[in-house]
A and B are shown apart, each in its own frame.
Chain A
Amino acid sequence: MFDNLLGSFWPYTIDGLVLGAIYGLVALGYTMVYGVLRLINFAHSEIFMIGTMASAFVVMSMGLTHPLTGFALVGGLLLMILVGGFASAGSAMLLERIAYRPLRKRGASRLAALISAIGASLFLQELFALVIIPHAFNRPEQGRNQMGVARIMDKDVLFSIGGADVRVDQLLIFVAAIGMMVLLDQVVNRTKIGRGIRATSQDPQTAMLMGVDIDKIVRVTFLIGGLMAGVAGALFVLQFEVTKFSIGFLLGIKAFTAAVLGGIGNLRGALLGGLFLGLIENYGAAVFGSGWKDVIAFSVLVLVLMFRPTGILGESLQQARA
């Protein structure tokens, strides 16, 4: 039963870490918004989808027939990541402005905001399926079909660990994702705006009395979360080269799970939870077959929460808490 896992331990580990890094990036958005607003932003999966769409659009506009190399490749990748990141960041801020702020200003309950989030999520999916994909991507009547994205970089094997090949795109995704998270961690812990975010998440009332502009903090939180999701979307397109209007659904659930697993509201927990979930999924699939992947992953989630109800790192790690 465990032969398969032991025989291919490194390939499962590497794939798990790469996917886990993407989960972690998306999980940041859930965890930051929860930290500041105590709101589960269910439309965050669509913010991720917008990131994949924007970067897919960039690749499509390049009209590639062959993968890029050299400086063209570096430029292409940067453009993809920047456009993906900013499209998602912009959408996330717009989402906050339209779907959440009016409710917050009127003192609506958190349940109302949750419904608003679900509504926004459906709205964005249908917007892409019915309007944007058929028109902007010139795929009439195929709004709900999967879209293939041209290959932007050759997927050469860089080196091997224990018989498992590590491809250049996998390494790039992992390094970029971890880099983004380290950067964010530093921003939250060392800058003035970061202090504002931490203060708001600990006690919004007191933070306001201390002169923190809550509206601004909320805007920045959505911007950062959106940016991370957009970068994750670009990296996702780089690895899998497909997207569709509902691509965020499953990944969003996984990322949310990663956030809860690591301790929701906890930045470092999001990363840890993402990597942990990616690995568990793959190990579970190795032992029980890929059909059982999600069953294993969520059983582990339940087990972890039984013994550590606030997640692996806990909710109260004040330093890293956003």
Chain B
Amino acid sequence: MIRIASLGRVLAIAAAASLALTACGGGTESDGGGDSAAPTTLKIGFMGDLSGENSGIVIPPRNGAQLAVEQYNAKNPKVKVEMIPYDSRADATVAVGLAQQAIKKDKVVAMVGPAFSGESKQVGPVLEEAKIPSISASATNVDLANQGWKFWHRVVPNDGVQGPAIADFIVGAAAAKNVVVVDDKSEYGKGLGDAVRGQLKTKGATVSDDALDPNATDYSSTVTKISATKPDAIFFGGYYAAAGKLLKQLRDKGVTAKFFSADGSLDKGLIEGAGAAQAEGALIGCPCRISTATETDENVKKFAADYKTKFGADPLIYATEGYDAMTAFLKAIESGATTAEAINDAVGKSDFDGVSKHVKFDPNGEPSAKSIYMYEVKGGEIGLLGDTTTAKLS
């Protein structure tokens, strides 16, 4: 998801900003200012859309990151960490200004974020120049990893991984041969739709396509077109509001083909828009690892419980990724790194079991673990089905 992608970027920047801070010897008690004076508190930034229209997918990772910091500080480490949130409102111009502020004024040593891909693209060079490491929890645009940035990382696989993985699942586990791919014409939806189309064709499935306007309400022409091709499966590339309306109108017209979508639709809004009865059985892929009511992984369960105690809500999309991004920095600091560059080196060598996945980075900053998860709507709730490569349909 492009926007989400941006989020990750924000995170990275925040992290990077934090590093810068340490580099400048910004410890509160070290008035000497020399490199030898070890700081006692390091600042790590978190950047993303915290108050705008898409803040719903940025606040969970922000909370996740904050939880990681609090658990770390509670252990009374030698060097404490303070998280500074930067609300970019998903505006790249604002994000760049905030990054400058994080580097020069707040002197952060690392940055978790920025959250979305657009702002990530703009903020990346700023952090790179200041040598501040960043880890995004949600920026999924493919290009971000191809910029040659040494200080940039993300903990989610990119859109180029997600689309084909979902397509493999559609022809594999779901055994569909005749698939309709609909997108919402957005940068995210079309890109993802095309990735799915390409992989489906490679796998020998028959693909028909259509596009819709996410702001419209009547999708009857799309539904009629889909209905006429009698598909086994339908994939929608777009956000949950449109996905809900489309799914409802499909089911009301008697189209029973399996309905697939991706991370942009992984929200309860899908069920609200479609109606619980119509949403039943909808399948949603996501590079994110969300804990659901039927969670079996102890690690994730514990995270979900801690998160709920702290924030009074269930951890939603990218909360585990936000936690893992921050944890990568905290582990680096724990290992003795106190400057931005030292933290970046340590993060590059990360190799630990996070909540969302095993955290390890490729040289270009991409996560080594490229799992895409499949979620299913059951009884009005979104439940985890499993990794797309191993999950089975019931």
Are A291 and B211 in contact (CB-based, < 8 A)?
yes
Are B275 and A290 in contact (CB-based, < 8 A)?
no
What chain B residues lie within 8 Å of A286 (beta carbons)?
A: 221, 224-225
Asked if A102 lies at the interface with its beta carbon under 8 angstroms from chain B, I say no
Complex formed: what's the CA distance from A291 to B238 in Å? Answer: 14
Mark each residue of chain B from 242 to 278: 1 if its CB lies under 8 Å from any CB of chain A, else 0. Answer: 0011001100111000000000000001001111010
Q: Which of B211, B218, B252, B273 has the most CB of A within 10 A?
A: B218
What chain B residues lie within 8 Å of A165 (beta carbons)?
A: 253-254
Asked if B294 lies at the interface with its beta carbon under 8 angstroms from chain A, I say no
Contact of B228 among A7, A15, A241 (CB under 8 A): A7
Asked if A251 lies at the interface with its beta carbon under 8 angstroms from chain B, I say yes
Mark each residue of chain A from 124 to 156: 1 if its CB lies under 8 Å from any CB of chain B, else 0. Answer: 000000000000000000001111101100010
Interface size classification for chain B: 20 to 34
Are B210 and A15 in contact (CB-based, < 8 A)?
no
Interface residues of A in 220-268 (CB under 8 A from B): 236, 240-242, 246-247, 249-251
Asked if A293 lies at the interface with its beta carbon under 8 angstroms from chain B, I say yes
What chain A residues lie within 8 Å of B212 (beta carbons)?
A: 290-291
Mark each residue of chain B from 214 to 245: 1 if its CB lies under 8 Å from any CB of chain A, else 0. Answer: 01111111101101100000000000010011
Asked if B53 lies at the interface with its beta carbon under 8 angstroms from chain A, I say yes
Mark each residue of chain B from 91 to 129: 1 if its CB lies under 8 Å from any CB of chain A, else 0. Answer: 000000000000000000000000000000000000000
Asked if B358 lies at the interface with its beta carbon under 8 angstroms from chain A, I say no
Are A11 and B216 in contact (CB-based, < 8 A)?
no
Asked if B177 lies at the interface with its beta carbon under 8 angstroms from chain A, I say no
Interface residues of A in 256-296 (CB under 8 A from B): 281-282, 285-286, 289-291, 293-294
Asked if B185 lies at the interface with its beta carbon under 8 angstroms from chain A, I say yes
Asked if B351 lies at the interface with its beta carbon under 8 angstroms from chain A, I say no
Q: How far is the CB of A17 from chain B (nearest CB, A)?
A: 11
Q: How far is the CB of A241 from chain B (nearest CB, A)?
A: 7
Complex formed: what's the CA distance from A211 to B210 in Å? Answer: 58
Contact of A240 among B185, B218, B277 (CB under 8 A): B218
What chain A residues lie within 8 Å of B228 (beta carbons)?
A: 4, 7-8, 11
- Chain A, residue nearest B224 (CB): A11
Asked if A167 lies at the interface with its beta carbon under 8 angstroms from chain B, I say yes
Interface size classification for chain A: 35 or more
Asked if A19 lies at the interface with its beta carbon under 8 angstroms from chain B, I say yes
Asked if B29 lies at the interface with its beta carbon under 8 angstroms from chain A, I say no
Asked if B143 lies at the interface with its beta carbon under 8 angstroms from chain A, I say no
- Chain A, residue nearest B51 (CB): A141
Q: How far is the CB of A222 from chain B (nearest CB, A)?
A: 25
- Chain A, residue nearest B245 (CB): A242
Are A146 and B215 in contact (CB-based, < 8 A)?
no
Contact of B220 among A7, A19, A147, A148 (CB under 8 A): A19
Asked if B362 lies at the interface with its beta carbon under 8 angstroms from chain A, I say no
Q: How far is the CB of B79 from chain A (nearest CB, A)?
A: 36
Asked if A34 lies at the interface with its beta carbon under 8 angstroms from chain B, I say no
Interface residues of A in 1-59 (CB under 8 A from B): 4, 7-8, 11-12, 15-16, 19
Are B227 and A11 in contact (CB-based, < 8 A)?
yes
Given A146-B273, A148-B275, A250-B215: A12 in contact with B221 (beta carbons within 8 A): yes
Are B221 and A15 in contact (CB-based, < 8 A)?
yes
Asked if B353 lies at the interface with its beta carbon under 8 angstroms from chain A, I say no
Complex formed: what's the CA distance from A145 to B222 in Å? Answer: 23
Are B275 and A151 in contact (CB-based, < 8 A)?
yes
Q: How far is the CB of B214 from chain A (nearest CB, A)?
A: 10
Are B244 and A291 in contact (CB-based, < 8 A)?
no
Given A11-B227, A286-B221: A148 in contact with B273 (beta carbons within 8 A): yes
Asked if B295 lies at the interface with its beta carbon under 8 angstroms from chain A, I say no
- Chain B, residue nearest A239 (CB): B218
Complex formed: what's the CA distance from A291 to B211 in Å? Answer: 5
- Show 8 A/B contacts (Cβ-Cβ < 8 Å), sorted by A: A8-B225, A15-B221, A148-B273, A165-B253, A165-B254, A236-B217, A246-B215, A289-B209
User: A residues near B, CB below 8 A?
Assistant: 4, 7-8, 11-12, 15-16, 19, 144-148, 150-151, 155, 157, 165, 167, 236, 240-242, 246-247, 249-251, 281-282, 285-286, 289-291, 293-294
